[in-house]
């Protein structure tokens, strides 16, 4: 475990933030805060953007006309989320256009069964679940059920962010993520009641460790920093527990079982 120490100045900043200090657009940000904020924004931007592209083929592949419309709406939501974060990053002086042009945000792994654990495959900042391909309608639904829900839990903390432009932007994004996960919930019930329940369980087994990895290693310390800076309220481990509890209840209600997840078995970043 890293033993990062903070200067007196940093400690003072943590205290001010704990006492309600917030930052607004155009204000000068302390270096530590600026870096942490940009890390989180880049991660969200690239995740929303690559998420939209990963969903897009499912406009055509969705099973009914009504579902094609819903998937198209979800794709539009995700790209809009990316655009909200794009504006925030640009406001902070980041060159987002060059990044979009130079990185491969449409990249997806071809090898369906590989477990990349916590590894990053390209020079972008997406949460690494967005490297995996969405190959079946069950995968699309599990993405709504699991990943949009995980995002919802994480964004819940941002509703109270110390960076006001982000807090403001998240309100609409959060509502839309709730609609996406509700779409997942509706379809999990339909699929679990159908002939392909076994296949749904199989795909759940595949996606479960991938979504659990989204919360990062519970041994990492960067989350404590985000909490100290008011950019998160809870550590990822705490958010993950709330997420697991919710998914477990929903999965069990549909007769599905969550496989065991062992963090130590996950390949780590190199
Ligand atoms: Fe999103
Ligand atoms: Fe979403």
Residue 9, in any domain of the structure: no
- pLDDT for residue 119: 79
What's the 202 CA to ligand 2 centre distance in angstroms?
23
Dihedral angle, C-alpha 13, 3, 216, 238, nearest 10 °: -60
Is the sign of the CA dihedral 29, 31, 34, 37 positive or negative?
Answer: negative
Question: Could you say which ligand is closest to the alpha carbon of residue 79?
Answer: 1
16: pLDDT strictly greater than 90:
yes
- Judge whether 3 lies within some domain: no
Ligand 2 centroid from CA 78, angstroms: 6
Q: Which of 71-80, 206-215, 223-232 has the highest mean predicted lDDT (pLDDT)?
A: 71-80
Q: What is the pLDDT of residues 73-126, one digit of tens each?
A: 999 999 999 999 999 999 999 999 999 999 988 888 887 777 788 777 778 899
* CATH code for the domain in which residue 239 is found: 1.20.1260.10
Average pLDDT of the chain? 92
Q: Is 169 a domain residue?
A: yes
Q: Ligand 1 centre from 192 Cα, in Å? A: 25
- Would you say residue 12 lies in a domain? no
Ligand nearest to the CA of 184: 2
Indicate whether 138 belongs to any domain: yes
* Structural domain containing residue 181: 29-110+122-265
Please report the pLDDT score of residue 1 as a whole number. Answer: 46
Cβ pair 160, 120 in contact under 8 A: no
The pTM of the full predicted model, rounded to 2 decimals, is 0.93
pLDDT number for residue 3: 57
Number of domains the chain contains:
1
User: What ligand has the least distance to the C-alpha of 127?
Assistant: 1
Neighbours of ion ligand 1 (CB under 5 A): 48, 78, 81
Is the distance from CB of 118 to CB of 67 less than 8 angstroms? no
Q: Is residue 175 part of a domain?
A: yes
Residues around ligand 2, an ion, CB closer than 5 A: 148, 177, 180
């Amino acid at each position: 475990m890293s033993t990062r120490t903070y200067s007196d100045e940093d400690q003072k900043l943590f205290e001010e933030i704990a006492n309600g200090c917030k930052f607004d657009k155009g204000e000068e940000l302390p270096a530590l805060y600026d870096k942490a904020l940009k890390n989180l924004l880049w991660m969200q931007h690239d995740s929303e953007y690559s998420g939209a592209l990963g969903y897009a083929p499912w406009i055509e592949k969705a099973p009914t006309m009504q579902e094609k419309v819903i998937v198209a709406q979800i794709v539009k939501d995700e790209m809009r989320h990316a655009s909200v974060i794009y504006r925030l990053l640009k406001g902070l002086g980041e060159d987002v256009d060059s990044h979009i042009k130079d990185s491969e945000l449409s990249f997806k792994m071809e090898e369906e069964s590989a477990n990349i654990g916590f590894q990053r495959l390209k020079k972008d900042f997406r949460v690494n679940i967005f490297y995996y391909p969405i190959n079946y309608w069950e995968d699309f639904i599990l993405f709504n059920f699991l990943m949009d829900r995980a995002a919802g839990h994480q964004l819940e903390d941002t509703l109270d962010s110390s960076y006001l432009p982000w807090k403001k932007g998240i309100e609409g994004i959060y509502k839309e993520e709730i609609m996406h996960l509700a779409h997942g919930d509706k379809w999990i019930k339909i699929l679990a009641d159908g002939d392909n329940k076994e296949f749904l369980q199989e795909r759940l087994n595949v996606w479960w460790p991938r979504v659990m990895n989204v919360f990062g290693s519970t041994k990492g310390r960067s989350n404590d920093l985000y909490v100290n800076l008011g950019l998160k309220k809870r550590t990822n481990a705490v958010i993950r527990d709330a997420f697991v509890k919710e998914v477990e209840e929903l999965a069990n209600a549909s007769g599905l079982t969550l496989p065991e997840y062992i963090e130590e078995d996950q390949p780590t970043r190199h």
